[in-house]
Structure 1
Amino acid sequence: MLDLDRLRALHAVANHGSVSAAAEALHVTTSAVSQQLAKLERETGHKLLERNGRGIRLTDAAKLLVVHAEGILSLVEQAEADLEAHRGVVVGELAVAAFPTAIRGLMPAALASLRVAHPGLRVLVKEYDPSLSVPLVARGDIDLAIVQDWNNVPLPIPEGLVKGTICEDAADVALPSTHPLAHRDEVDLKELAGDAWISSTPGSICCDWLTHTLRSVDSEPHIDHMAYEFATQLALVAAGLGNAILPRLGRGTVPEGVRLVVLRQSLSRRVYAVWRHEAARRPAICEALDALRASAGAV
């Protein structure tokens, strides 16, 4: 009979590309993963890994076994979720990934309420950009990801994942108080064509979105400064170094020298949670969603 832990080790190697990366994802030693794979080779009578330059690759037998392992592990996760739902008690661990402003703007109140309501639940939070957290959920490394996308650029969600909306988050343009349009109550993006811009780091969702959005109004973006944190972006705006488009969640205190103006285009981002279909009945996920929505409503 095939051992579940050994199948999980092979599945992790297939997903992460190496024994060491699989060990890190499974929170065990590299030696432990190697031993599990060696035992699985003896059980199946097939060689599962072979050298490929400095790395390794799965044999045809291993690839076939990984397909079955995915189905087996999926059924196990679904069974565990059903048992948790049957017990009706919110306990255990819930690994959550979230982008920075969601951690700052939503998680503190949500975590505090979960701790009071469900002392047997341990929530572990890590900061990740949505482009990284969604694959982590799909692989099973994270239980729940708090992600975002923009109303004009949706984030693709892989098959097998479920998403639930937490809130809609409107965005405003932050202008230096010396900007010619800073006195306005509303501004059109086209009126800011040719301006210098401040955005998040390259490759992040917000940076890619700003580039797409400005080009959609025939304005080639001039992004002179890049910083991930909103507070840093606002400090650069206050110094007169450019404009920034910032959503309201987690924006923090607006410094002197910055004027927030409503955008005529009504730009907003959607904040939602993503989890695996097999885990949909887990009470911990349902309670976490309720707590996050309540936190968003309070904000």
Structure 2
Amino acid sequence: MFDLHRLRLLRELKHRGTLAAVAAALSYSPSSVSQQLSLLESEVGVPLLEPVGRRVRLTPQAEILVAHTEAVLERLERAEADIATSLADLAGTLRVASFQTAALALVPTALTLLREAHPRLRVHVTQTEPEKSIPALLARDFDLVVAEEYPGSPDARPAELEQEDLCDDPLRLARPRGVEGAGPAGAREALRELAGHPWVMEPEGTTARHWAMTLCRTAGFEPDVRYESTDLLLHLRLVEQGHAAALLPDLVWSGGRPTVALRPLPRGQGTRRVFTAVRRGRSRHPAIQACRRALREAAGKGV
């Protein structure tokens, strides 16, 4: 029988990419990780790694092992969930990752609800964007992720994860303070009115940036992106002070009144999907279920 600990190291290597990354994540030395994987190769009787420059990659046989390891780990997570369900009190640590606006608008209220209902449950929250949090969830760095999906930009849905819709978050054009429009206009015309004005957007390579650029180009212009940040509160400040136009989600107001002029976006582009994701087999864990309930209640309050 193959050693499960070594199988998990092989799985970690698939998700993290390098021996050094696996060692750093698990507080091992790279030589120790390499030694354990060499022992696993001896157990299996075939090569599991092959060199690619200064790195290594998994052989087809290693990929087969990782697929079976995922199934074993999923079953173990189901067992953990069943044990936790059998207990009268919910305790332990739940590791949650959330993107910024959900972390500001939803997470604090959800934490309050969880503290009141389950005072012994320790919730550890990290603010990070889905481009990083979803791979980290697969690597078991988090237990639950709050993520977003922009219109027309569906993300990959790994078979190892289970998603659950949390809420729809309207997206709107934020007009810079002091910049007057030509009057009533359609959504595309409202965008084109700001074609010559500076814009603030999220950095290149993000889903939000790709969506925003596509939106402007479809409206017929190339936006002058002078400011880049993942911090949507900075986007808002730049709009408030007349420095830039922006595309802002309603969650940025955290239940308060908008402080800048907003216009609707073209049909089919005006809402992003907010959802939670967990590893397959983990959704029945009572801590996951409690957290999802609290987040749904927070979203329902419109905070």
Give the TM bin, normalised by the shorter chain.
0.7 to 0.9
Deviation of residue 108 (structure 1)? 1.4
Q: How does 1:214-293 map to 2 (within 5 A)?
A: 214-251=216-253, 259-263=260-264, 265=266, 267-293=270-296
Partner of residue 208 from structure 1, selected from 201, 210, 216: 210
State the partner residue of 2:200. Answer: 198
Q: How does 1:169-188 map to 2 (within 5 A)?
A: 169-181=169-181, 188=187
Q: Quick check: 1:137–1:275 contact (8 Å CA) kept in 2? A: yes
Pair 1:125-2:128 in alignment: no
Structure 1, unpaired ranges of 5+: none
- SS of 1:179's partner is coil
Q: Quick check: 1:134–1:157 contact (8 Å CA) kept in 2? A: no
Q: Which stretch shifts more, 98-107 or 30-39?
A: 30-39
> What TM-score do you get using the length of structure 2 for normalisation?
0.85
Q: Quick check: 2:103–2:127 contact (8 Å CA) kept in 1? A: yes
Code of the aligned partner of 2:264? L
> In 2, distance between residues paired with 1:110 and 1:29?
38
> What TM-score do you get using the length of structure 1 for normalisation?
0.86
Structure 2, unpaired ranges of 5+: none
The Cα RMSD (Å) is 2.9
- SS of 1:163's partner is strand
Code of the aligned partner of 1:189? R
Structure 1 pair 217/51, CA: closer, same or farther in 2 (3 Å)?
closer
State the partner residue of 1:16. Answer: 16
> In 1, distance between residues paired with 2:25 and 2:182?
49
Q: Quick check: 1:235–1:255 contact (8 Å CA) kept in 2? A: no
Code of the aligned partner of 1:190? E
> In 2, distance between residues paired with 1:105 and 1:250?
7
Deviation of residue 285 (structure 1)? 0.9
State the partner residue of 2:145. Answer: 145
Structure 1 pair 79/226, CA: closer, same or farther in 2 (3 Å)?
same
Pair 1:108-2:113 in alignment: no
Code of the aligned partner of 1:290? R
